[in-house]
Chains A and B, each alone.
Chain A
Amino acid sequence: EVQLLESGGGLAQPGGSLRLSCVVSGFTFNGYAMNWVRQAPGKGLEWVSVISGSGGSTDYADSVKGRFTMSRDNSKNTLYLQMNSLRAEDTAIYYCAKEKGDYNGHFDYWGQGTLVTVSS
Chain B
Amino acid sequence: EIVLTQSPATLSLSPGERATLSCRASQSVTGYLAWYQQKPGQAPRLLIYDTSKRATGIPARFSGSGSGTDFTLTISSLEPEDFAVYYCQQRINWPRTFGQGTKVEIK
Contacts and interface: CB of A to CB of B under 8 A. Distances in A.
B98 A112 contact: no
Interface residues on A, range: 20 to 34
A52 to B, nearest CB: 13
A47 to B, nearest CB: 4
Interface of B: 32, 34, 36, 38, 42-46, 49-50, 55-56, 87, 89, 91-92, 94-101
Main secondary structure of the interface of B (DSSP, over half): loop
Interface of A: 35, 37, 44-47, 50, 59, 61-62, 95, 100, 104-113
Main secondary structure of the interface of A (DSSP, over half): strand
Most B CB contacts (10 A, CB to CB) among A59, A105, A106, A111 go to A106
Given A105-B32, A106-B46, A62 B95 contact: yes
18 contacts: A44-B87, A44-B98, A44-B100, A44-B101, A45-B89, A46-B98, A47-B98, A50-B96, A106-B34, A106-B46, A107-B36, A108-B55, A109-B46, A110-B44, A110-B45, A111-B43, A112-B43, A113-B43
B103 to A, nearest CB: 11
Nearest to A46: B98
A95 B43 contact: yes
Contacts of A35: 96
Given A45-B44, A110-B43, A111-B43, A105 B100 contact: no
